[in-house]
Structure 1
Amino acid sequence: MLIREATISDWPAIWPFFHEIVAAGETFTYPLDLGEEDAGEWWLVKSPSRVVVAVADDGTVQGTAKMNRNHMGNGSHIASASYMVDPRHAGRGVGRALCQYTIDWARTAGFRAMQFNAVVETNVAAVGLYRSLGFEVLGTLPEGFNHPKHGFVGVHIMHRPL
């Protein structure tokens, strides 16, 4: 698997699984009816933020990650990231590779830590992955997410020093 900088030409490969994940309403706080044009503007952020894709040997885009500062000004030393893995490629290490890539990027870029602001507590695969890579739950906002199957569930704030 190759992880490389995403380009606008990758969006047609990203959009189908991006849309599937967002429309399911189980893991992201994005509007469920987010359209393709707005989604592309939200995800394909400009420098100094960064977007990458994980690409299989055959050229298939299997996942994507967006990296950015978590806050501005005096909080700009903390990084954040978001990840989407095509469900057809889940469980094959794509998410772990993307997460490790963003940690390395943040460390190299001089950030002091990474923080995830809203990890849905029922997303046990993501929570487990992040914990295995050194993230800790700092706190949980009770009923901070309206899950389509589980109702109101908590969202974790997760942190990892770099």
Structure 2
Amino acid sequence: MALIIRSYTPADADAVQAMLMPVFRAGDTYSIDTDISAPAALAYWTGAGRRVFVANADAVALGTYYITRNQGGGGAHVCNCGFVTDAAARGRGVARAMLDHAVSTARDMGFRAMQFNFVVSTNTRAIAIWQGAGFDIVGRLPGAFRHPDHGYVDALVMYRDLTAE
């Protein structure tokens, strides 16, 4: 699979919405209202201040991510990202490739660190990918996420210094 990660364009809107909606509707990894409309989901993902990317193979969108400042002012040197992989592409290295791209892009944009503010503790696949890429769990928010199947579960704060290497 030759994966190409490129900047989002408005022509990607339908494909990105098609990836976002099942994830947001499931309500088990993002703290987004499960009844969000497709236009609102796209507006959230592509909102002001976010650079959005799409991962494609054979002209088919397999994943998307955004990168943005985590905070303003004195915290503007730390970025935050969101990732979604199409269900049919999971387990094929798409998320890891997007993360590698995000780390490189973040460095190019001048960010000194990357932080994930709210990683649901039951999202073990994502946690393993992030930890494998050098992210540390630096905080745990007990019971901060209401999972549709598991009830109240922890949310993790994960962090990676981008100045090393």
* TM-score (norm: length of structure 1): 0.96
Is residue 64–residue 85 contact of structure 2 (8 Å, CA) maintained in 1? yes
Alignment of 1:63-74 (within 5 A): 63-74=63-74
Paired amino acid for 1:7: T
Superposed, 1:8-157 pairs within 5 Å as 8-47=10-49, 49-56=50-57, 58-157=58-157
Query: Is contact 2:144-2:154 (8 Å) kept?
Result: yes
Contact 1:11 1:40 in 2 (8 A): yes
> Which residue identity lines up with residue 53 of structure 1 in the other structure?
V
CA contact (8 A) 1:5 1:53 kept: yes
Greater shift, 19-28 or 7-16, is seen at: 7-16
Q: CA deviation at 1:46?
A: 3.9
Alpha-carbon distance in 1 for matches of 2:27, 2:129: 20
Give 4+ residue runs of structure 1 displaced > 3 Å after superposition. none
Q: Distance in 1 between matches of 2:47 and 2:103?
A: 18
For 1:53 and 1:135, locate their aligned partners in 2 and report how far apart those are by CA, in whole Å: 22
Counterpart of 1:130 in structure 2: which amino acid? Answer: W
- How far 1:81 sits from its partner (Å)? 0.4
Percent sequence identity is 38
In structure 2, give the amino acid aligned to 1:26. Answer: D
Q: Which amino acid aligns with 2:24?
A: V
Measure, in 2, the Cα distance between the counterparts of 1:146 and 1:139. 18
CA distance in 1, matches of 2:86, 2:132: 21
Return the offset for 1:17: 2.1
Secondary structure of the residue aligned to 2:92 is: coil
Q: Give the Å deviation of 1:129.
A: 0.2
Matched-pair contact (CA < 8 Å) for 1:45–1:66: no
| 1:6 is the counterpart of 2:8 | yes
Q: Which runs of 5+ in 2 are unaligned?
A: none
- Structure 2 contact 65–83 (Cα < 8 Å) conserved: yes
Q: CA deviation at 1:37?
A: 1.2
Is contact 1:68–1:79 with CA below 8 Å preserved after alignment?
yes
For structure 1, the residue ranges without an aligned partner over 5 or more in a row are none
TM-score under structure 2 normalisation?
Answer: 0.95
Q: Tell whether the 8 Å contact from 2:62 to 2:85 is kept in structure 1 after alignment.
A: yes
